[in-house]
Structure 1
Amino acid sequence: MTEFRRVGLSTGVTLNVAVAGPEDAPPVILLHGFPESHRTWRGVAPLLEDSFRLIMPDQRGFAGSDRPLDVDEYESDKLIGDIFALAEAFGVERFALVGHDWGGAIAWPAAMRNDPRLTKLAIINAPHPLIFQKSLIEDADQRAASQYINWFRVPGAEKAIEAMGFEAFFQKTFMSHVELASVSEAEKQQYIAEWSQPGGMLPMLNWYRATKLIVPPPGATVAVPDFLLRSFPMIHVPTLVVWGMKDPALLPLQLEGLEALVDDLTVVKLPDAGHFAPWEAPDQVASALRDFLG
């Protein structure tokens, strides 16, 4: 049974956190992405809560958690800090970390710190930052698929979304990813209610504005950033990558080269799922997580 807590963190924000599973079970922190909340795991959590202590926050800027308005509140160091501060707030000494979309984008660099508190890493449709940045420069298809990031960064994009209407934004966000008929009216209204929080879309879009990711316009020639030429931190914790292969935003080429960046890597491909695999294919995602986390 899921319970909810308001949890103040040492990083200065208070998060709304969904918690499920026995208190003495192995702890797992699950991080959602854009434009979601802890509800990303609505289909997965019931399949895992018998064996794991599931800690599922609304990340800062989303849904029921604090929603700072300044862009610098969403820099990666602060977002990673929230992960470990959340573990501290729950008295968790060692934990596994699962991330989807932006949750995975933050989980990757969190694992690069090789903090002994982090025991396992599971990623669902979220690219490794090195491979993603390289593909945005070298692969025309991935660059084209990622132009939405530049649009989200435009000043006033949040006002354009609000002017469009959240019903229309719901259609635009999910239409190319899932069969919309599979999302109930109650679920849709929950999304809209979360997006309608004070501050509107701005806190969520600040995740895109704070990242240093370079997304060149189509056809432009861009020099390779210096950080791509330097050695990149290896990930030493056991790592699972689950990938919905029909993802139109993050193409399967994001899986290429991972074995050179992760010591202990397992990849599970879901041929019939897309970007929102945790609720498109919850049984398959939960099965992969159970095998790996167990």
Structure 2
Amino acid sequence: MTELRRERFALSTGVELDVTIGGPEGAPAIIFLHGFPESARTWRFQLDDLARDFRVVAPDQRGYARSSKPEGVENYTPDKPVADLFALADALGIDKFTLVGHDWGGAIAWGAALGNPARIERLVILNAPHPFVFQKSLFDDMTQREGSQYIRAFRTPGMENFLAADLGAFFDRIFGPSGIGSTAAPEERAAYIDEWSQPGAILSMLNWYRAAQIIVPAMDETPARPAYLAAPFPVVQMPTLVIWGMADKALTPAQLDGLDALVADLKIVKIPDAGHFVTWEQPQAVIEAIRSFLR
């Protein structure tokens, strides 16, 4: 097992993040961003393996686990975690790096790559839709719209109280009683419930959805389309690997359609026997895909 350590960083953005770090300090750096409702532990298999050859960095993002949980929805707009990412890299003395993101972490990674491409050498996305493709699909693909109705539910006032009332049931709903939730070691279940039990954690995690500008129409709704869907969209320029668990019920494989027009140097790896939480459903397949890409 590779030795990994946990450190807490007070960032220039005003938050403190708990961060898992490992690998040789002089090695090429990889920063990993987790999604909802997880933490750096979603990368536990990948960090342990990749730390043999790379400097690995995986924060618990703002609002999660024991990292800072600033009050107010406005503190969870996507620009805030993007700023945290670069502030953390600065604190570690990392100029350029490979950026890896899953779910919400992937959304932040897409944004960071589009907004500050000079610092991101390579991009790895796991089951996280490109912002243009995702918004377009929510208008044009009724299967994806149906799969994303949970976002509307998460934006409902008071949802944090409903979820916090039974965190065990929340674990089963998210990870699936017949899927990875049923096969997870008891200590994994306990670890997640402990993270969600931290004061303000559920509210802060839901605030990521409430702060986002993404429009999720109801199934019987036809709102006005955002103007940017009819305009040219910036192209991601750095080499990009997209890993997709093809059994994802929340984010369908339709999110891969049209990516080649939005990413100049794209490689897609499809993992057929994995769902949304591909990082620990098929950890070795993810490791092999990332290693092959970085070679």
- TM range, smaller chain: over 0.9
The alpha-carbon deviation at position 45 of structure 1 amounts to 1.4
Mean alpha-carbon deviation: is it higher for 238-247 or for 64-73? 64-73
The reply to whether residue 274 of structure 1 matches residue 275 of structure 2 is yes
Matched residue, 1:109: 111
The alpha-carbon deviation at position 180 of structure 1 amounts to 2.4
The alpha-carbon deviation at position 181 of structure 1 amounts to 2.6
Find the aligned partners of 1:62 and 1:162 in 2 and give their Cα distance.
14
Which 5+ residue runs of structure 1 have no aligned equivalent?
Answer: none
Matched residue, 1:156: 158
Matched residue, 2:255: 254
Matched residue, 2:138: 136
The reply to whether residue 94 of structure 1 matches residue 128 of structure 2 is no
Contact 1:19/1:55, CA 8 A, preserved across alignment: yes
Q: Deviations over 1:203-241 (max 9, x none)?
A: 000000000000001122232211212221111111000
Contact 1:114/1:237, CA 8 A, preserved across alignment: no
- 2:218 is paired with a residue whose SS is coil
Match of 1:54 among 28, 53, 56: 56
- 2:122 is paired with a residue whose SS is strand
Contact 1:121/1:240, CA 8 A, preserved across alignment: yes
Matched residue, 2:284: 283
Matched residue, 2:189: 188
Matched residue, 1:41: 43
The alpha-carbon deviation at position 179 of structure 1 amounts to 3.4
Mean alpha-carbon deviation: is it higher for 246-255 or for 2-11? 2-11
Matched residue, 2:81: 79
Find the aligned partners of 2:78 and 2:232 in 1 and give their Cα distance.
19
TM-score normalised by L of structure 2: 0.97
Q: How do 1:222-241 residues align onto structure 2 when only pairs under 5 Å count?
A: 222-241=223-242
The alpha-carbon deviation at position 115 of structure 1 amounts to 2.9
Contact 2:154/2:206, CA 8 A, preserved across alignment: yes
Find the aligned partners of 2:32 and 2:222 in 1 and give their Cα distance.
37
The alpha-carbon deviation at position 114 of structure 1 amounts to 4.1
How much is the aligned-residue C-alpha RMSD, in angstroms?
A: 1.1
Find the aligned partners of 1:30 and 1:257 in 2 and give their Cα distance.
25
Matched residue, 1:245: 246
Contact 1:15/1:57, CA 8 A, preserved across alignment: yes
Find the aligned partners of 1:147 and 1:177 in 2 and give their Cα distance.
22
Q: Deviations over 1:106-144 (max 9, x none)?
A: 100111124311111000000001000000111111001
Q: Amino acid of the residue matched to residue 222 of structure 1?
A: P
Find the aligned partners of 1:184 and 1:276 in 2 and give their Cα distance.
15
The alpha-carbon deviation at position 178 of structure 1 amounts to 2.7
Q: Deviations over 1:255-279 (max 9, x none)?
A: 0000000110000000111100000
Q: Amino acid of the residue matched to residue 7 of structure 1?
A: F
Matched residue, 2:6: 4
Contact 1:177/1:275, CA 8 A, preserved across alignment: no
Mean alpha-carbon deviation: is it higher for 45-54 or for 145-154? 45-54
Q: Sequence identity, in percent? A: 53
Q: Amino acid of the residue matched to residue 286 of structure 2?
A: V
Check 1:181–1:67 CA distance in 2 against 1; reply closer, same or farther (3 A cut): same
Q: How do 1:13-32 residues align onto structure 2 when only pairs under 5 Å count?
A: 13-32=15-34
- 2:133 is paired with a residue whose SS is helix
- 1:16 is paired with a residue whose SS is strand
The reply to whether residue 204 of structure 1 matches residue 205 of structure 2 is yes
Q: Amino acid of the residue matched to residue 147 of structure 2?
A: A
Find the aligned partners of 2:21 and 2:244 in 1 and give their Cα distance.
25
Contact 2:24/2:55, CA 8 A, preserved across alignment: yes
Q: Amino acid of the residue matched to residue 180 of structure 1?
A: G
Contact 1:114/1:235, CA 8 A, preserved across alignment: no
The alpha-carbon deviation at position 177 of structure 1 amounts to 8.1
Check 1:31–1:188 CA distance in 2 against 1; reply closer, same or farther (3 A cut): same
Q: Deviations over 1:13-68 (max 9, x none)?
A: 11000001111111000000000000011121122111111000000000121011
Which 5+ residue runs of structure 2 have no aligned equivalent?
Answer: none
Contact 1:177/1:247, CA 8 A, preserved across alignment: no
